[in-house]
Structure 1
């Protein structure tokens, strides 16, 4: 009996020591380098992490699958990422937890301003620039845009070319592709330059559809629950700043993404801040995960299974936990 008590006390002490050691290290945060993930930037630039007494190591990464790989390798504790890679990797054993929403909206199909294409159905037989197969945006493109809205088979009816979004506008202008499925600020840059037009705006078809979310590993939640709450409190502050101080936030975003002025079709110069302001017509920010958001995530899960990106049925209830976000509201 005494030995059991001593063993339990020793294990408890080891757990507390491990938690204290983890808390001494920076919270490693990865985020997909997209304008929609601006809350991560704002929280850093405006000092919201520091206000919460949180030391962070913030890293910008290319896409959701890359972030999932970094989480699996133990290189990140928390991430701002699109939902599909989260549940796809969850189905394979990487049990991340979705804690909060980051944004809604962002994506659109673009064509050249000189293109004869007028409907999604016209993409049949064409070349379309997309992103890495199986990524969040790819699931949205193949499942919702092409299969549901256009009635096209994404593997047979057109040629989807994997391309960095930063290269898509040039590829459209040069005729390398007939269309591109991209996000902000790239959509607004091309639109304001007058070299491309929006063929299909996802946010008009699915108003305020959720996209990026904040996730954490079980180890992070177990060892650093207080830091997770601090992170989400900083996240809430950043979302509020974006919504309450748009002009200042636009300047921070334009600077972080090193946006250059663009020349409009009439020869007018359009500032980086104006590009961000246009992008805001397609996206916005919110931390709350609402029932409609969970329904959309379920739709993405169904599409991922139908597209062969995972082989099990899943529901948002398996990986969503908003209790930390609720604590961060106090």
Structure 2
């Protein structure tokens, strides 16, 4: 009887766990949730895991609690250096104004940041935007007082008077603007530099390529819905961001989601347009101690899943 039970147990199918995808509050990644809402994304195959800050989602990817993650380019470079074998399977968006440095009304120019308290999420692409803004004003990080704070604490820090300026991203930019803050510098001054990516562990990509393809297919279906039915799309997406459909529509105007064809070019070394920004960002990170040694950004790029999508499109 015991041997029969063992035989039955051995023959029973093992239930596959869904691919766990970490996200943070950012309008650029909302098409993933739109895809789920529209039924394009199978919750049994792909599980979206929501985090309140970039630091949290980065931590859980490193700890193996999630299999894929929506991250910025700098975080992908850090993951590569630390041996986590990340693979970029999708360029989700470019920020053209959705990331910004905002300050109190009395701080009228970048030069007036000298000696001021500036909140920024540590080890994030916001430090790059801050560095470029300071350089434009002839300032260095030592000329300001940097307050490392997670993005979900930026609004409170500003409202409570703890900081004079904040480097953050939507929807927090709009919330700070509503509290009287004004922009001194934003990502529109850095065209093509601030990019958000979908990164998958190499072992997960090898073991579950069909799930990755399913997620990418759902992404592009959601983008098509956004383009063809924008009012319906922003109405569906805005509640999670705690904003109105009109406000979300304005935020999305500050982003650009590359098409399938553009993604194919972006993820195809050695001619990828992504490599120039990656090397410039790497130089900045090495200079600031955010990377210990140079990495090979071209090894991050993995176009295989997109190539299959093109075949079945």
Structure-1 residue corresponding to 2:77:
87
Q: Does the C-alpha gap of structure 1 residues 274 and 27 become closer, same or farther in structure 2, counting only changes over 3 Å?
A: same
Which residue of structure 2 aligns with residue 301 of structure 1? 282
- Hey, what does 1:315 align to over in structure 2? 296
In the alignment, which residue of structure 1 is the partner of 2:140? 153
2:57 to 62, 67, 91: 67
Matching residue of 2:222: 238
Per the alignment, residue 181 of structure 1 pairs with 167
Return the offset for 1:121. Answer: 2.3
Question: Could you tell me which of 262, 276, 287 is aligned with 2:248?
Answer: 276
TM-superposed CA distance for 1:208, in Å, is 4.7
Q: Residues 210 and 168 from structure 1, CA distance in 2 versus in 1: closer, same or farther, beyond 3 angstroms? A: closer
Task: Determine which of 48, 51, 72 is the counterpart of 1:58.
Answer: 48
With the length of structure 1 as denominator, give the TM-score of the two structures: 0.79
Bigger mean CA deviation after superposition, 173-182 or 97-106: 173-182
**The one of 250, 256, 272 aligned to 2:240:** 256
Post-superposition offset of 1:197:
1.6
Task: Assess, with a 3 A threshold, how the Cα gap between structure 1 residues 175 and 215 changes in structure 2: closer, same or farther.
Answer: same
Map of 1:141 onto structure 2:
130
TM superposition shift of 1:292? 3.4
Deviation at 1:286, TM superposition (A): 2.4
Aligned partner of 1:286 among 258, 271, 274: 258
Structure 1 vs Structure 2 CA RMSD: 2.4
Instruction: Say how many residue pairs are matched.
Output: 289
Shift of 1:226: 1.5
CA 1:311–1:243 in structure 2 vs 1: closer, same or farther (change >3 Å)?
same
Corresponding residue to 1:200 among 181, 185, 196 = 185
| CA–CA distance in structure 2, aligned partners of residues 119 and 150 of structure 1 | 9
SS in 2 for 1:49: coil
Question: For each residue in 1:275-327, what CA deviation from the matched residue of structure 2 results, as whole angstroms up to 9, or x when unmatched?
Answer: 21221232232254434333212221221111111121123212111221222
Q: Is the 2:89–2:301 contact (alpha carbons within 8 Å) kept by the matching residues of 1?
A: yes
Q: How does 1:41-52 map to 2 (within 5 A)?
A: 41-50=33-42
Note the residue ranges of structure 1 that are not aligned, 5 or more in a row: 1-19, 260-271
Check conservation: 1:84, 1:300, Cα contact below 8 A: yes
CA distance in 1, matches of 2:71, 2:115: 32
- 1:188-246: CA deviation from partner (whole Å, max 9, x where unpaired): 2333x36122111212x123544210111111111111211111111222222233322
User: Which runs of 5 or more residues in structure 2 are unaligned?
Assistant: 1-12, 267-271
- State whether residues 128 and 179 of structure 1, in contact with CA within 8 Å, keep that contact through their aligned partners in structure 2: yes
Note the C-alpha offset of 1:108: 0.7
CA contact (8 A) 2:109 2:184 kept: yes
**2:90 aligned with 1:100, yes or no?**
yes
User: Is contact 1:130–1:163 with CA below 8 Å preserved after alignment?
Assistant: yes
